[in-house]
């Protein structure tokens, strides 16, 4: 399959999406993100010893989890549940300004269907996202947005790639409105052994061995990650979808080990 993927990755994302919709069409499951019926969800994650040894939630293998069309998975559906049930997206509210960093297609498609949302997206390499509207070229450590621009910032599986993550978190605080909230997901080690990082490691194979992916610069310990959010001037909390609504969390197939880190700008 990998040699096929090498060629299909050259196609624009909406074209790939259309091909996958045909290829995986079925009635066994329906993806709430992209809205497609599929024959089943796929396994993803895992593959490196460090991910299991350090109990890295968001990195360990998950079976029957990933939509084969939009590639949305448990954490994407967890964000959708928070945005819908806690932030109230799709209900009656004044228009919200939302920034989607490194936008994944499944959540983008869900957000597009919600009313009362002013959507912006950003990435350090915006050419990868020509299909996304209002897309900005943005290094998260020097974000090209005015102070207090956003009510919600979605930043999922980005910070583990950023060498100066503290500067990125301070920028997220700056561009949030007082009371605004950021969804700050990253692979998190649950083994209590802290954060493993070493900026001198640049060899992709060594990064895979130590951090679980060729382009990651660290593995966060969960407590240390929350501490970094706090040190950036945000109020850090962990939202537990199973405590909020167990039946819905189970229906969505969320990961019982994964909690959603939220950083709220005070005010
Ligand atoms: Zn999907």
Q: What is the DSSP string of 3-23?
A: HHHHHHTTS-HHHHHHHHHHH
CB 261 within 8 A of CB 229: yes
4 has a pLDDT exceeding 70: no
Q: Tell me, in angstroms, the distance from the centre of ligand 1 to residue 8's CA.
A: 18
pTM over 0.85: yes
Condensed to tens digits (0 to 9), the pLDDT of residues 36-64 reads: 999 999 999 988 999 999 999 999 999 99
Q: What pLDDT shows up at residue 47?
A: 86
Q: Tell me, in angstroms, the distance from the centre of ligand 1 to residue 34's CA.
A: 4
Q: Tell me, in angstroms, the distance from the centre of ligand 1 to residue 215's CA.
A: 25
Domain residue limits, the chain: 73-264
Q: Tell me, in angstroms, the distance from the centre of ligand 1 to residue 91's CA.
A: 22
Condensed to tens digits (0 to 9), the pLDDT of residues 106-139 reads: 999 999 999 999 999 999 999 888 889 999 999 9
Condensed to tens digits (0 to 9), the pLDDT of residues 134-160 reads: 999 999 999 999 999 999 999 999 999
191 has a pLDDT exceeding 80: yes
8 has a pLDDT exceeding 80: no
Mean pLDDT over the full length of the chain: 93
Q: Tell me, in angstroms, the distance from the centre of ligand 1 to residue 58's CA.
A: 18
The number of helices, as runs of H, and strands, as runs of E, in the chain is 10, 15
CB 123 within 8 A of CB 135: yes
Tokens of 69: 């069309």
Per-residue confidence at 1, pLDDT binned at 50, 70, 90? very low
Q: What pLDDT shows up at residue 54?
A: 94
Q: Tell me, in angstroms, the distance from the centre of ligand 1 to residue 146's CA.
A: 33
Who surrounds ion ligand 1 at CB < 5 A? 31, 33-34, 67, 69-70, 72, 106
Q: What pLDDT shows up at residue 203?
A: 94
**Closest among 225, 232, 218 to 260, alpha carbons compared:** 225
Residues above pLDDT 90, as percent of the chain:
86
Sheet holding 235-239, edge to edge: 135-137, 117-123, 96-101, 150-156, 176-185, 260-264, 235-239
Q: Which CATH superfamily is domain 73-264 in?
A: Vaccinia Virus protein VP39 (3.40.50.150)
Ranges of beta strands (E only) in the chain are 25-30, 37-38, 42-44, 56-57, 62-66, 96-101, 117-123, 135-137, 150-156, 176-185, 188-189, 196-197, 218-221, 235-239, 260-264
C-alpha 48/C-alpha 33 separation (Å) is 28
C-alpha 40/C-alpha 238 separation (Å) is 30
Condensed to tens digits (0 to 9), the pLDDT of residues 74-105 reads: 999 999 999 999 999 988 888 999 999 999 99
9 has a pLDDT exceeding 70: no
CB 121 within 8 A of CB 100: yes
Mean pLDDT of 165-194: 97
7 has a pLDDT exceeding 70: no
**196-197 and 218-221 strand pairing:** antiparallel
Sheet holding 218-221, edge to edge: 56-57, 188-189, 218-221, 196-197
């Amino acid at each position: 399959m990998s040699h096929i993927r090498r060629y299909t990755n050259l196609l624009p994302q909406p074209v790939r999406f259309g091909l996958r919709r045909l290829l995986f069409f079925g009635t066994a499951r329906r993806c709430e993100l992209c809205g497609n019926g599929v024959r089943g969800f796929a396994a993803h994650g895992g593959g490196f010893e460090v991910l299991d040894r350090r109990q890295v939630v968001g990195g360990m293998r998950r079976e029957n989890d990933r939509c084969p069309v939009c590639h949305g998975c448990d954490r994407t559906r967890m964000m959708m549940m928070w945005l819908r049930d806690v932030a109230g997206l799709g209900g009656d509210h004044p228009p919200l300004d939302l920034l989607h960093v490194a936008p994944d297609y499944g959540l983008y498609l869900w957000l597009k269907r919600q009313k009362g949302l002013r959507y912006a997206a950003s990435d350090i390499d915006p050419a990868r996202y020509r299909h996304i509207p209002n897309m900005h070229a943005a290094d998260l450590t020097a974000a090209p947005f005015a102070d207090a621009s956003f009510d919600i910032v979605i930043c999922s599986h980005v910070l583990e790639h950023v060498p100066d993550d503290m500067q990125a978190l301070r920028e997220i605080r700056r561009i949030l409105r007082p009371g605004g909230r950021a969804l700050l997901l990253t692979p998190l080690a649950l083994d209590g052994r802290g954060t493993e990082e070493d900026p001198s490691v640049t060899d992709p194979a060594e990064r895979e061995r130590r951090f679980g992916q060729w382009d990651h610069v660290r593995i966060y310990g969960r407590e240390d990650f929350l501490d970094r959010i706090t040190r950036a001037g945000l109020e850090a909390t962990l939202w537990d979808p199973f405590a909020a609504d167990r039946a819905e969390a189970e229906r969505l197939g969320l990961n019982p080990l994964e909690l959603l880190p939220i950083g709220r700008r005070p005010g």
